[in-house]
Amino acid sequence: MTGSEMVLVVITLGAVALAGYLLLRRSGSHQDQELAALRGQLAQMANQSGELQRLIADQMAQSEGRMSTRLEQSLRDQNERTTKSLTGMAEKLAVITEANGHIAALSGQVTQLQNILSNKQARGSFGEVQLENLIRDALPDNAFDFQATLGNGRRVDCLLRLPNPPGPICIDAKFPLEAYRRLTAADNDAARDTARRGLEADVKKHIQDIAAKYIIPGETAESAILFLPSESVYAEINIQLPRLVAASRKARVYMAGPDNLMLILHTVRAILRDARMHEAAGLIQAQVDMMMQDVGRLEDRVGKLATHFAQAEKDISDIQTSTRKITSRGDKIAEIEVMDAESAVPTSQRKDLLV
């Protein structure tokens, strides 16, 4: 029974009691019997009302218990969800804090890189360090020299020691950053054209210097490499300045970015490996020639030994013949009877003994 039904029953009982009271007042004393019956009914109704009140109290207590349990479970679930949400938020905040730290460190590194690139000497060192790292990763230590001094007294950033041909190749690192920055900062076509011509003139000057300093007939290869430590600068030159590319090829100074230089170094490594293989093949051929000479001498000595064996065999045969003759002569001597006088031996028999 629900709470509303219980309240309706209580109201009904109250109405019945009120009706009985009014009926008693109207009836008077002459209706004692009916009054007694009504009192009995009222007593019975009072008992039923008490039981109903107890039932209602019990049901309300049970309802309150269930509501308390559901409320407690709901609060517990809400607390767990809140705890999980707060934990997730704390983890996300930790990740965000760590990311902010990385961003701050990266910003510091970018600032440091900008400071390095803003100084020409430091920028040159940056290009040389990048060049050194690429070469050390691709080639063995005996295939290159850094800051090598040439016969004309010039010092080159790196000298690749290749066999002839082509011979040692010089690599010089240049970073035309100012001209490239003017180009990227230009906000109109006229400014970009001016900046691009400045970049072309700057790189062309580097090409001419490298051709004059690092291509030495009889000492180095007939070409050299201009290393541009920036792929963006290398791409800008190759796409927008084809005349500069043609001029570099004519001067035999070939430009290379980091990726192109790595490809060149892999080719150099293959050339060095082939050179070592040819050198090893020459050594093997020399050893084979010496071995064939030894085989010829061995054949001569075997022939001589065979001659000695044949002579020895003939000598042994002669010895065997002499042995047979001696044995035969001994047998004949054994057959001769000893006589008192030499005359007793017939002349023909003496001749046989002398043979």
What lies within 8 Å, CB to CB, of 252 at 6+ separation is 211, 215, 222, 223, 224
Percentages of the chain per state (helix, strand, coil), in multiples of 5: 80, 5, 15
Q: What is the pLDDT averaged over residues 210-217?
A: 91
- Looking at per-residue pLDDT, the higher value among 49 and 256 belongs to 256
Q: Is there a contact between 183 and 195 (Cβ–Cβ < 8 Å)?
A: yes
pLDDT of residue 110: 46
The Cα diameter of the chain in Å comes to 217
* Least confident among 92-106, 168-182, 188-202, 338-352: 338-352
d(CA 228, CA 237): 10
pLDDT of residue 9: 55
Q: Is there a contact between 268 and 160 (Cβ–Cβ < 8 Å)?
A: yes
Q: What is the pLDDT averaged over residues 88-115?
A: 68
Q: What is the pLDDT averaged over residues 200-204?
A: 88
The band of 226, judged by pLDDT with boundaries at 50, 70 and 90, is very high
Whether 134 shows a pLDDT value over 80: the answer reads yes
* 2, containing H or E segment: none
pLDDT of residue 355: 47
Strand extents, DSSP E, the chain:
144-149, 155-160, 169-173, 224-227, 253-256
Q: Is there a contact between 201 and 145 (Cβ–Cβ < 8 Å)?
A: no
What lies within 8 Å, CB to CB, of 258 at 6+ separation is 130, 134, 229, 231
What confidence tens digit (pLDDT) does each residue in 16-26 have? 555 555 555 55
> What is the rounded radius of gyration, in angstroms, for the C-alpha atoms of the chain?
61
The band of 248, judged by pLDDT with boundaries at 50, 70 and 90, is very high
d(CA 23, CA 19): 6
Domain range 119-276, CATH architecture: 3-Layer(aba) Sandwich (3.40)
What confidence tens digit (pLDDT) does each residue in 276-328 have? 777 767 777 777 778 888 777 878 888 887 788 888 888 888 888 888 888 88
Whether 185 shows a pLDDT value over 60: the answer reads yes
Q: Identify which of 13, 10, 14, 4 has the alpha carbon closest to the alpha carbon of residue 60.
A: 4
pLDDT of residue 341: 45
Angle (CA) 304 308 314, round 5°: 145
d(CA 65, CA 167): 98
Whether 3 shows a pLDDT value over 80: the answer reads no
What confidence tens digit (pLDDT) does each residue in 340-353 have? 444 555 555 555 54
The band of 1, judged by pLDDT with boundaries at 50, 70 and 90, is low
The distance from CA 276 to its chain's CA centroid, rounded to whole angstroms, is: 28
Task: Return the exposure string of 321-348: e unless at least 16 CB atoms fall within 10 Å of the residue's CB, then b.
Answer: eeeeeeeeeeeeeeeeeeeeeeeeeeee
For tokens 């047998």, name the residue: 331
The band of 112, judged by pLDDT with boundaries at 50, 70 and 90, is very low
Q: Which amino acid is at 14?
A: G
Q: Is there a contact between 206 and 173 (Cβ–Cβ < 8 Å)?
A: no
Q: Identify which of 16, 69, 3 has the alpha carbon closest to the alpha carbon of residue 42.
A: 16
Q: Which amino acid is at 206?
A: H
Whether 220 shows a pLDDT value over 60: the answer reads yes
The band of 224, judged by pLDDT with boundaries at 50, 70 and 90, is very high
Mean pLDDT in the chain?
Answer: 76
Q: What is the pLDDT averaged over residues 191-197?
A: 86
Instruction: Please measure the distance between the N-terminal and C-terminal CA atoms of the chain and give it in whole angstroms.
Output: 163
Task: Give the burial class of 104: count Cβ atoms within 10 A of its Cβ; 0-12 exposed, 13-18 middle, 19 or more buried.
Answer: exposed
pLDDT of residue 211: 92
Domain spans in the chain, listed from the N-terminal domain onward: 3-88, 119-276
Whether 202 shows a pLDDT value over 70: the answer reads yes
Q: What is the pLDDT averaged over residues 162-190?
A: 82
State pTM to two decimals.
0.48
Whether 272 shows a pLDDT value over 70: the answer reads yes
- Looking at per-residue pLDDT, the higher value among 89 and 223 belongs to 223
The tokens describing 200, both together, are 């072309």
